[in-house]
A and B are shown apart, each in its own frame.
Chain A
Amino acid sequence: MSNALEAIQIKKVYGDYTALNDVSISVPKGSVYGLLGPNGAGKTSLIRIINQITMPDSGQIVLNGSPLEPRHIEDIGYMPEERGLYKSMKVGEQCIYLAQLKGLSKSQAKERLNYWFERLGIQGWWNKKLQELSKGMAQKVQFIVTVLHEPSLLIFDEPFSGFDPVNANLIKDEILKLRDEGATIIFSTHRMESVEEMCDHIALINKSNLVLEGKLSDVKQRYRDRNYAVSLICADNDFAFKQIPLDFNPVPIQLSGLDNTLDFKIKIPTNIDIPVAINKLTQIGELTHFSEVIPSVNDIFIQTVQENG
């Protein structure tokens, strides 16, 4: 699979503050690529460079195999985090204006707008001023403006903020539909559950540096840490409470249980093989559940950020 976008050794310095320090990412074609990082990590700086709003001090962006040029603005759709449109301008006029900025002709823009307004169920809003719309409605308009010129690369910054669950789901489905139609999606968010649901690749930027990048499944593979969820039915809880820390010493364990059922997580030390561990557990009580805990993106995020100070 070739890459839709490659950022090579991007460096951006503002005065004496380094916003991006030799950051390189590769976004495969047709992927949903999650760009993660705490506030102020440099995500927005990178997105702005991809959008040619600012220029990198060094490094190069390659879009669909060729270095980024002004004409590429037509291939990119960008929905910024803090969204906004002209409040006192009519929805239709505004969409046409913004579409023309992206190189569409007026009639083309009109045609596509009609299609999208229908698709998102906002027909009849054409002549309304934006300030008359609810926030969710305005977000839909913003979404349409972003995708209208059918760019091959779509960048969404926190795409779900401001949407109610029904509309958030609608937008999520639209984004996935666009991916199926061949677009590549980069999206930047703090909402890890949406990353989990949608992304197939992630990159984590912390303090201006890229600290993690790759296929989500590979990343998770890397962060597997022999954590297991266990359920036991024990005849004697007190025995179990004593025995489990002994067997899996010195690893901290969590114990919780009702009556004689114990649910807990353990980290199995590397010197104990999994079958041995299972064997030990069955000696304590009746093993009803044993499964590996795959780290969530949230865990990986927090762990990586803390490790990198």
Chain B
Amino acid sequence: MTFVSPLIFVGVALLIGWLTSINSDTARKIAVLDQTGDQYESLFKNTDRNQYIVLKGLSKSAAVAASKEADYYGLLLIEGDNGNLEKFSFYSDDSPSPDFISAIEDKINNKASESNLLKNNIDVELLEKLTVKKEIELQNFTGEKTSKLSGWIKIATGGAAGYLLMMFIIIYGNMVMRSVIEEKTNRIIEIIVSSVKPIYLMVGKITGTSLAGITQFLIWVIVGFILMIAATTFFGIDAFSNPANADMMAQTQDMSKMELILNDVAQLPILKLIFCFFIYFIGGYFLYASIYTAIGAAVDNETDTQQFMLPVILPLMLAIYVGFFSVMDNPHGTVAVIFSYIPLTSPIVMLMRIPFGEIAWWEIVLSMALLYISIIGIAILASKIYRIGILMYGKKTNWKELYKWLRY
């Protein structure tokens, strides 16, 4: 799986790109019946996606019947009175996408508004010239301009980092827990602990899996990166962006905006983020893996782990939700700040705060220090449970029992 996962990831991205491209190959046939005197039918030009068939001289019911008979995608009926637009409707057994519908609405409404202006002797060009269409410009106090998408880029980066960290903790935490349970149910544990101290075994196990996690992560990043570049070069498919949106983006954004977005990405504290990711990953992983090993030692099989999973899953979920709601809303708000210091949630919440910038180094250092100090505490407690749990068989363990073990 180590090497296959990034391959699958890239494969799926390519597959999606390819499927989208063949999906757009077949054009939909759409009938147009314009009863206003042919004013609007010329608006609808054939594209790769849509092919328009103009119906003439048919009654409404005849057009509906004909479209159904010919198995058209839909029928656009524009009704009017003496050349004036009265209403327009779209008949289809399918449910057309909101984009498609609003495109039709815009075209017809623009054209109708234009002819209304003309009828009332208003100069369309002048009106166009006088209409103000300025967009708000965003910049920080040092004068660096940012795009409106900047917030979203930060949310996406922080969210991805936090989410990735959570996934790694859960995946590798489960791995370490399963290996403890395996050794325990195998009884090989008795042979091993008659040779080494349980605490060494536990720390070694956690260290080993965390290194495996980091290696896996690096492999994903490197292989994924190489494959993405190879794929985009060889197949000419831009796997990163959704083809449906690419068109729209190109239309609505001029080059300066793209530059601003690139600038935003460049302004992200990427190095800081990567550095912190590793520190928080190691710290967060040690913290949670200690708990996972204690759980693994306390039970006889994997099904029994359910009752103890709450203290692991709850803070992780809490961190993700605090990240997505409080941090996104205000990265320097009280809740966001407090949760970025609490060791169980700090790895995720702080990672989500970092892309928003202006997190002082002392804040990060304090949060890391708290994390690493609490690791020692949690690891000591976990090792007490581990030491006793690995030699305890056939007894259903509960919280009270665990508390007793802590006091032995």
Which residues of B in the span 174-200 have a Cβ within 8 Å of any Cβ on A? 182, 185-188, 190-196
Q: Does B391 belong to the interface (CB within 8 Å)?
A: yes
The size class of the interface chain A forms with chain B is 20 to 34
CB <8 Å contact, A84 and B185: yes
Q: Which of the residues B190, B193, B404 comes within 8 Å of A15, measured between beta carbons?
A: B404
Q: Does A85 belong to the interface (CB within 8 Å)?
A: yes
Q: Does B408 belong to the interface (CB within 8 Å)?
A: yes
The residues of B that contact A90 with a CB separation of less than 8 Å are none
The residues of B that contact A48 with a CB separation of less than 8 Å are 190, 391
Nearest Cβ on chain B to A17's Cβ, whole angstroms: 11
CB <8 Å contact, A76 and B194: yes
Nearest Cβ on chain B to A213's Cβ, whole angstroms: 24
Q: Does A52 belong to the interface (CB within 8 Å)?
A: yes
Q: Mark B390-408, 1 if CB is under 8 A from A, else 0.
A: 0101000000000010001
CB <8 Å contact, B408 and A102: no
Contacts A14-B408, A15-B404, A15-B408 given; indicate if A52 touches B188 (C-beta within 8 A).
no
The size of the chain B interface, using a CB distance under 8 A, is 16
The residues of B that contact A51 with a CB separation of less than 8 Å are 190, 194
The residues of A that contact B193 with a CB separation of less than 8 Å are 53
The residues of A that contact B393 with a CB separation of less than 8 Å are 82
CB <8 Å contact, B194 and A86: no
- Tell me, in angstroms, the Cα distance from A101 to B191 when the chains sit together: 9
- Tell me, in angstroms, the Cα distance from A78 to B193 when the chains sit together: 11
The residues of A that contact B191 with a CB separation of less than 8 Å are 78, 80, 98, 145
Residue from B192, B195, B408 with most neighbouring chain A CB atoms (10 Å): B195
- Tell me, in angstroms, the Cα distance from A87 to B186 when the chains sit together: 9
Contacts A48-B391, A53-B391, A54-B391 given; indicate if A80 touches B195 (C-beta within 8 A).
no
CB <8 Å contact, A78 and B186: no
Contacts A15-B404, A48-B391 given; indicate if A101 touches B187 (C-beta within 8 A).
no
Q: Mark A32-56, 1 if CB is under 8 A from B, else 0.
A: 0000000000000000100111100
Contacts A85-B188, A86-B186 given; indicate if A52 touches B408 (C-beta within 8 A).
no
Told that A15-B404, A85-B188, A145-B191 touch, could you supply 19 new A-B pairs with CB distance under 8 A? A48-B391, A51-B190, A53-B391, A73-B195, A78-B190, A80-B187, A80-B190, A80-B191, A81-B187, A82-B393, A84-B187, A84-B188, A85-B186, A87-B182, A87-B186, A98-B191, A98-B192, A101-B192, A101-B196
Can you report 16 residue pairs joining A to B where beta carbons are below 8 Å apart? A14-B408, A15-B408, A48-B391, A52-B194, A53-B190, A54-B391, A73-B195, A76-B194, A80-B187, A83-B187, A85-B186, A85-B188, A86-B182, A87-B182, A98-B191, A98-B192
Q: Which 10 A-B pairs have the closest CB atoms?
A: A84-B186, A101-B195, A51-B194, A82-B187, A80-B190, A84-B187, A84-B188, A80-B187, A53-B193, A78-B194
Which residues of B approach A to under 8 Å, CB–CB? 182, 185-188, 190-196, 391, 393, 404, 408
Which residues of A approach B to under 8 Å, CB–CB? 14-15, 48, 51-54, 73, 76, 78, 80-87, 98, 101-102, 145
